[in-house]
Structure 1
Amino acid sequence: MSVPLSILDLSPISEGSSAAQALRNTVDLARHAEQWGYERYWLAEHHFVSVASSSSLTLLGLVAAATSRIRVGTGAVQVGHHTSASIVEAFGTVDALYPGRLDLGLGRSGHRRSQFGAEAATTRGGHPVLDAVTGRTQVRDGVVVPPPFDPRRITDRAKFLASIEALQQLGAEAPEFADQVAEVQALIEGRYFSSQGVELHAVPGEGIDAQLWLFGSSAGESAELAGKLGLPFAAAYHVAPGTALDAVAAYRAAFQPSEILAEPHVIVSADVVVAADDDTAHHLTSSYGHWVHSIRSGAGAAEYLDPTTASPLTPDQHRLVDDRLASQIVGSPTTVVERLHALQTLTGANELLITAITYDHADRLESYRLLAEAWAA
């Protein structure tokens, strides 16, 4: 029996389009996803780039209002840019009107010490899945596992650092990730006390029926913390295909049963585009490398280019993104289902989290529709 499929949406802005249209596309896709049987609809958080999901906490409510059954969540809140109270109160506000459908995903992004995903530059714990000597891409049981991407290859960090400055109050320092997760749990469970010992209650927020998830891309703090707390864990293969399998192994190794989970529960993400045949799917994704390059260069996600008019990547540009191109799962329904089954089998994932980006919204809808039908069959 196939595991459930869910969706991670960045609200991408296509070349010549607008943020408003991207947000309308997100709501439209969420409605269709519910009809097609997807388990969850998660919203990413990115700032000062050409994606419209900068305020995932706001978009969460809009998607919940537009749907009726599908679970809706954040994938993930960048906790370094938010206080624990603001996160819990935002979720509490949505849960008050749409109870029992929310997934509260938390990620380490936004902490100064995790700049450019430094956690993903190394692996510890678990079992390495790459050829550390040669740095060659492996194919393990049908799953592409490239060498880890070294964030030191990103030479222009000016925009990233400026974004951090703009998103935090002057002089503010984000707490340790583990401390902030503990604060969120305490606020939800009604046992929060300030540093001065004053008891505080989040209204709304306390007592919400939301599933708490932690996100990670390597065998580092996030994976280990999720395991120790007995929380479900999301491994970002779509962002870090070279280290996501290590993250799953570290999570399982650290797992301790809790009131929430008796056994580990993992969702693994993948970049996927499906079309009627392999050639059409590869054409639709021919500008995907340009989009990834805009991120890897330090400029941040650019508008998604029209594949019909986009110029080919130069060899140097291609080398910066070849791991993401190799690990993207593209093709006909049969091709994609085969590769997704391989990813699920190798990772032991309880669910798969699909993110699809195309220039045309209709092509993105068709990709998710074809995948849902093929997966169910």
Structure 2
Amino acid sequence: MPVPLSVLDLSPVLSGGDVPAALRNSLDLARQAETFGYARYWVAEHHFTEGVASAQPAVLLAAIAAATSTIRVGSGAVQTGHQTPLSVVEQFGMLDALYPGRVDLGLGRSGQRRVEALQQLAEEAQRPAPKPPVPARVVDGLLIPSPFSFAHLVASPRWALYARLLQQPGAQSPGFTEQVQEIEDLLGDGVRGDEGIVARAVPGAGARPELWILGSSGGESAQVAGARGLPFAANYHVSPSAVLEAVEAYRASFRRSARLARPWVMVSVDVVVAEDADQARHHASPYGLWVRSIRAGGGAIPFPTPEQAAAHEWSEPDRALVADRVDTQFVGTPEQVAEQLATLQRVTGADELLITTITHEHAARVRSFELLAKEWLG
């Protein structure tokens, strides 16, 4: 049996479109993904980006769960550095109360990364010579590209402003391990304080969302997921260079828990499918320009049209800026993409695959998911 497929949706705002249209498209895609046989429908959390409407996962998931009946809904992922564990548990406890047995709570540590990026820059400045770049390689048919560093991007004044607006004045995010522990405690019997006082989340205490950890490297996220016996989602679509490192670190640190008897891995990937390869490449053609807008420091632009993408004059630095993402996007016919997915699944040992697709035409995006499901799931 093929491993299950799920959807990761950013609610992309399209060039010439707006946020209400993007959210309506997400509701439509969720309904259709349910009929196509996808197992889960996850939404991302992004802030200050003109091209992404999914800023508040719990709010969007409530609408998606109401518009569907059976598909699991979840976050991919809540950025824990921007919220307290209590607020996360209350939001997803409410979702679980309204839609029991259907809610996934995916946690990420995006909010903690700016401090780490600044530390990385400081360390690089002290080195007498820069580290040589890690070359791209192919592992059993799967491209593992050279890594891309976000350090200079995260250290920019723009990101400093974003960080200030995402937190209360003077607030400091606890460590990710501590936050996951507190979220689990609040989903259980509560957090114990002095003199035997217990704080219980209402809603939230006793809720049963399926808890996941998302990660882009073999660092703390992978290790926390393994040590706590939680399922782990590795990001081939965000950090393809580190996907093998991430799943290996997770499996190496795994400890059996009441939730899982063995490691459980889901791997994400960017995909565009169409009836023929030329059509698929046409729909995928704006992707590089869209990624460039993120990595150049301005944030995701509304997803361009193929014509806008064709009019862009690419420099060599531009191409290098997006090469790892463009080269690891799976684009083609259903048969071609299914073969690439099979390679990704085999090399990573994934138990599930998480598919994200963005095209300028909403109908083309829906059709991509439909064609892939028919080919993969039968």
Bin of the TM-score, shorter chain as denominator length: over 0.9
Distance 1:224 1:88, change over 3 A: same
List gaps (5 residues or longer) in structure 1.
Answer: 123-131
Question: Contact 2:114/2:154 (CA < 8 Å) preserved in 1?
Answer: no
> Is it true that 1:225 corresponds to 2:224 in the alignment?
yes
> Which secondary structure does the structure 1 equivalent of 2:270 belong to?
strand
Q: How does 1:175-186 map to 2 (within 5 A)?
A: 175-186=174-185
**Paired residue for 2:86?**
85
Per-residue deviation at 1:237?
A: 0.6
> In 1, Cα distance between the equivalents of 2:156 and 2:299?
10
TM-score normalised by length of structure 2: 0.93
Q: Is the 8 A contact 2:8 2:44 kept in 1?
A: yes
Aligned amino acid, residue 24 of structure 1: R
Give the ranges of 4+ consecutive aligned residues of structure 1 lying more than 3 Å apart after TM superposition: 112-119, 132-135, 152-156, 194-197
What per-residue deviation string (whole Å, max 9, x for no partner) do you get for residues 65-112 of structure 1?
111100000000000111111111111111111111000000001125
> One-letter code of the match for 2:358?
I
User: Contact 1:275–1:332 at 8 Å: present in 2 too?
Assistant: yes
AA aligned opposite 1:28: D
What CA distance in whole angstroms lies between the structure 2 residues aligned with 1:118 and 1:336?
Answer: 39
Corresponding residue for 1:39? 39
CA distance, structure 2, for counterparts of residue 92 and residue 58 of structure 1: 13
How far, CA to CA, are the matches of 1:58 and 1:152 in structure 2?
A: 31
Instruction: Give the superposition deviation at 1:213.
Output: 0.3
> How far apart, CA to CA, are the structure 2 residues paired with 1:251 and 1:269?
15
**Counterpart check, 1:370 vs 2:371:** yes
Shift of 1:191: 3.0
Q: Is the 8 A contact 1:15 1:304 kept in 2?
A: yes
1:136 Cα deviation after fit:
2.8
Q: 1: CA distance between counterparts of 2:171 and 2:177? A: 18
Q: In the alignment, is the contact (CA less than 8 A) between 1:117 and 1:151 conserved in 2?
A: no
Q: Give the partner amino acid of 2:38.
A: Y
Partner of 1:251: 250
The alpha-carbon distance between structure 1 residues 21 and 203, as it changes in their structure 2 partners (threshold 3 A), is same
TM-aligned CA distance change 1:90 to 1:195, over 3 Å: farther
Residue correspondence of structure 1 range 1-377 to structure 2 within 5 A: 1-50=1-50, 51-111=52-112, 113=114, 135-152=134-151, 154=153, 157-194=156-193, 198-310=197-309, 311-312=311-312, 313-377=314-378
Structure 1, residues 153-192: CA drift from partner, whole Å, max 9, x if none?
A: 5387222221111010000011110000001000000131
Change (3 A) 1:195 1:21: farther
C-alpha separation in 2, matches of 1:201 and 1:40: 29
CA deviation profile, 1:106-142 (whole Å, cap 9, x unmatched): 00011255566989xx9xxxxxxxxx96633222222
CA contact (8 A) 2:114 2:155 kept: no
Corresponding letter in the other structure for 2:375? A
Do the aligned partners of 1:270 and 1:328 also contact (CA within 8 Å) in 2? yes
- In 2: Cα distance, 1:205 partner to 1:93 partner: 7
2:207 aligned partner, one-letter code: I
CA separation in 1, counterparts of 2:88 and 2:111?
14
Distance 2:277 2:353 in 1: 21
Q: 1:25 to 1:37 in 2, by over 3 A?
A: same
Contact kept, 8 Å, 2:8 with 2:42, in 1: the verdict is yes
1:220 to 1:156, Cα distance in 2 relative to 1, 3 A:
closer
What is the number of equivalent residue pairs in this alignment? 366
- Deviation string for 1:24-75 (max 9, x for gaps)? 0001000001000000000100001020000111111111111110000000
Q: What amino acid maps onto 1:224 in structure 2?
A: Q
Q: Secondary structure at the match of 2:111?
A: coil
Task: Write 1 or 2 for the structure with the bigger share of helix.
Answer: 2
Instruction: Sort the Cα spacing of 1:31 and 1:280 in 2 relative to 1 into closer, same or farther, 3 A.
Output: same
Residue type of the partner of 2:3?
Answer: V
Given the two structures, how large is their TM-score scaled by the length of structure 1?
A: 0.93
Instruction: Please give the alpha-carbon distance, in whole angstroms, between the structure 2 residues aligned to 1:191 and 1:170.
Output: 27
Name the aligned partner's letter for residue 7 of structure 2. I
Q: Is the 8 A contact 2:229 2:256 kept in 1?
A: yes
Identity %: 51
Distance 1:185 1:152, change over 3 A: closer
Change in CA separation of 1:11 and 1:4 when aligned onto 2, cut-off 3 Å = same
Question: Does the 8 A contact of 1:137 with 1:147 survive in 2?
Answer: yes
Q: What amino acid sits opposite 1:370 in the alignment?
A: L
* Residue pair 2:117, 2:152 contacting (<8 A) in 1 also: no
Q: Aligned pair in 2 of structure 1 residues 224, 195: CA closer, same or farther (>3 Å)?
A: farther
| Cα separation, partners in 2 of 1:70 and 1:195, compared to 1, 3 Å | farther
